Chain A
Amino acid sequence: GQQVQQSPASLVLQEGENAELQCNFSSTATQLQWFYQSPGGSLVSLLSNPSGTKHTGRLTSTTVTKERRSSLHISSSQTTDSGTYLCAIDRGTGGYKVVFGSGTRLLVSP
């Protein structure tokens, strides 16, 4: 089964609203990263957060390792935040295999 599940699959917001993205994973993760993918573009790492809470700019990630879940909170969303947000875990199985979720597609309208 899918090892990394993200929800919601898509999200539409008005500019200024907050977004909450969820990531659940079914296997032990030694590392967890959130990525941003612009429409038709490449992926950029936003945060590495294997446990606890991390902030960068308007982004806050909270990972509860025991419960195998992580969230990404985007405050005061902007139209430039539109794109796909991907969660990825490193299973740490002795080889480096980063497994990605299918992503949450975010659309922020003005």
Chain B
Amino acid sequence: EAAVTQSPRNKVTVTGGNVTLSCRQTNSHNYMYWYRQDTGHGLRLIHYSYGAGNLQIGDVPDGYKATRTTQEDFFLLLELASPSQTSLYFCASSERQGGERLFFGHGTKLSVL
């Protein structure tokens, strides 16, 4: 079973703060994704990547940067955090695009005060 590990599990920051969420997958998947989950909106795609150095824009990218440093590691950056970014963030990976199973991490709960 593919393993996707997110860190930290919980994070509290203040408005204007700088936050980096980390994700590592250990099954050599090509695709990695960052989602946020909010009540009433389900999961929404922020950014995704199909390999080291690649970045694709998702559906709600404003206020977020991302970087895929290696095949295993995908980071989500909030450079000026705002209270509207308080959410549950999930990282996921899949082997190929087009319907392959998504494997999710356990999530990072971020609170921006």
A contact set with B: CB distance below 8 Å = 4, 30-31, 33, 35, 41-45, 48, 50, 86, 88, 90, 92, 95-103
Contact = CB atoms under 8 A, between A and B. Distances in A.
B101 A33 contact: yes
B42 A92 contact: no
Q: Determine the main DSSP class of A at the interface with B.
A: strand
Contacts of B59: 97, 99
A34 to B, nearest CB: 11
B43 A45 contact: no
Interface stretch (B20-28, B64-72, B77-85, B102-110): B102-110
B40 A102 contact: yes
Interface of B: 31, 33, 35, 40-45, 48, 50, 56, 58-59, 90, 92, 94, 97-99, 101-107
Contacts, number: 63
A96 B48 contact: yes
Contact of B42 (A42, A90, A103): A103
B104 A44 contact: yes
A45 B101 contact: yes
Nearest to A94: B97
By Cβ-Cβ distance, the 8 closest A-B pairs, closest first, are: A31-B99, A96-B97, A100-B43, A102-B42, A43-B104, A100-B42, A42-B106, A45-B101
